[in-house]
Amino acid sequence: MSIIAPSRHARTVALVHAGATVYAIASFVFAALMTFILFSSAFSPDGGSAITLPVDASAATEVSILAAEPETPDAHFTQVEFTARGLSPGASLLYFAPRALTPIAHGIVALGIMMLARNVKAGHPFAGPVVRAFTLSGLTIAGIGSANQLLTSFGTSMARWELLGGTPLGGWVPSAPFDWTPLFIGITLGIIAGVFEAGRGFQRDAAGLV
């Protein structure tokens, strides 16, 4: 038994399919570009990238190593942004890795949406590839979402130690609390994959029914 979608719905599904395909391709191309930039910056001896580091709320005093001057005497810094030169490859990779991982995650999820739209168009929404796409999307969001937070935290700590250590801005700053949202979204997508797997069974049982 196949499910025939009405024409307006079919046009919407076709549009979603096309949009998701384009977005997936663009995401993977962007991820490849960011990976290239990441590695070339990390291992380039003279290279440097803009980096933003949190600092303890400091009085606006001049910090000679950063050549930073306060604009008003009552201002306070909570973060500094500058071009980091001399950052070790390890710290650079840890800090900038999320910029490459995030578009990869976007691409994988877009591929999952594309797979679902294609199968809905074909009248087989509960096909095996759709279940696998949902499972992979859930794992991707949970995994990359959590990994990005850990990488950013470690990368920021290492960069602060390397670049701000020994300066008035090098004091201890608490790291951001762990955001559980990606894990919850990943679990939800996993449950949806289970629902689609059950739907596959129903579709199989109803095959050939008139």
Tokens of 144: 């990359």
Q: Which stretch binds other proteins (CB under 8 A): 12-20, 33-41, 134-142, 202-210?
A: 202-210
Tokens of 28: 């993977």
Interface residue with other proteins, options 6, 67, 177, 209 (CB under 8 A)? 209
Quick one: how far is CA 14 from the chain centroid?
26
- Rg from Cα positions in the chain: 24
Q: Is 207 in the site for other proteins (CB under 8 A)?
A: yes
Q: Is 7 in the site for other proteins (CB under 8 A)?
A: no
Instruction: CB nearer to other proteins: give 177 or 208.
Output: 208
3-class secondary-structure state, position 173: coil
The distance of closest approach from Cβ of residue 204 to other proteins in the complex, given in angstroms and rounded to an integer, is 10
What is the Cα–Cα distance from 160 to 170, expressed in whole angstroms? 7
Query: Which x/- pattern, by CB under 8 A, does the window 79-118 give for other proteins?
Result: ----------------------------------------
Query: Which x/- pattern, by CB under 8 A, does the window 9-28 give for other proteins?
Result: --------------------
Do strands 48-59 and 76-85 pair parallel, antiparallel, or not at all (unpaired)?
A: antiparallel
Q: Which stretch binds other proteins (CB under 8 A): 11-19, 28-36, 147-155, 200-208?
A: 200-208
The distance of closest approach from Cβ of residue 203 to other proteins in the complex, given in angstroms and rounded to an integer, is 12
**Matching residue, tokens 């559980």:** 180
The distance of closest approach from Cβ of residue 124 to other proteins in the complex, given in angstroms and rounded to an integer, is 13
Report phi then psi at 206, rounded to 5.
Answer: -90, 0
Q: What is the DSSP letter of 172?
A: -
Quick one: how far is CA 7 from the chain centroid?
35
Q: Is 67 in the site for other proteins (CB under 8 A)?
A: no
Q: What is the DSSP track for 139-150?
A: HHHHHHHHHHHH
| Footprint on this chain of other proteins (rule: CB under 8 A) | 206-210
